[in-house]
Chain A
Amino acid sequence: DTEVTQTPKHLVMGMTNKKSLKCEQHMGHRAMYWYKQKAKKPPELMFVYSYEKLSINESVPSRFSPECPNSSLLNLHLHALQPEDSALYLCASSQATGKDTQYFGPGTRLTVL
């Protein structure tokens, strides 16, 4: 099973809302990632967790708050977002970082009103 699941598939939120994106994998992978993808653009790395510890934060605004409760789950907590944060948010996992294949979930399409 090489599946990464993400919920919800779609999310519409106002600028004052608090919401969370969830990602789950059961492949025993120890690295998990959040990417942001704007329309017609490549994915941009936001965060990397390695062995449940944050290893890379690409200077993401604090209104995005990642959390890795255990080795299978990755959350992205959202608060006070801006309309320009509307995008497809992709989660990925890999055995470790580097040459190991990253397996991507289908993404959450976020719209901020």
Chain B
Amino acid sequence: AQSVTQLGSHVSVSEGALVLLRCNYSSSVPPYLFWYVQYPNQGLQLLLKYTSAATLVKGINGFEAEFKKSETSFHLTKPSAHMRDAAEYFCAVTRPTGRRALTFGSGTRLQVQP
């Protein structure tokens, strides 16, 4: 079975600072990996996804993530945080074959301080 672990349930950064949200995966087969963002009282929006093409994936709103097989990681970064980035971020994994349904990590709440 596949799973993801998000390190840090809360991350606080200053506006303009680097954002780093950590995600490690566990999967018996090469996984597909996703980052979603959820603003208060809203559904989830895809930021980016890795589906075995380029290991450095660029997404919306200036976010990117790098798939590192040796570290089983898929950390999300953004060079400069904006106040509007404050939200809940979920890493998710699915298999390329067989049971293809998303399994989410526990989430990381990003706070951006002025």
Which residues of A does B touch, CB under 8 Å? Answer: 4, 33, 40-45, 48, 56, 90, 92, 97-99, 101-107, 109
Contact = CB atoms under 8 A, between A and B. Distances in A.
Nearest to A48: B101
Interface of B: 32, 34, 36, 41-46, 49, 51, 90, 94-97, 99-107
B48 to A, nearest CB: 10
Given A99-B32, A99-B49, A101-B49, A45 B102 contact: yes
Contact of A98 (B94, B104, B106): B94
A41 B106 contact: yes
A86 to B, nearest CB: 15
A97 B45 contact: no
Of residues A42, A101, A109, which shows the largest number of chain B Cβ atoms within 10 Å of its Cβ?
A: A42
Contacts of A45: 101-103
B44 A90 contact: yes
A90 B44 CA distance: 9
B8 to A, nearest CB: 14
Contacts of B99: 56
A98 B100 contact: yes
Contacts of B95: 98
A98 B49 CA distance: 12
B43 A90 contact: yes
Contacts of B97: 98
8 smallest CB-CB distances across A and B, nearest first, come from: A104-B43, A42-B104, A98-B100, A97-B100, A99-B51, A104-B44, A99-B32, A106-B43
Contacts of B45: 104
A105 B43 contact: yes
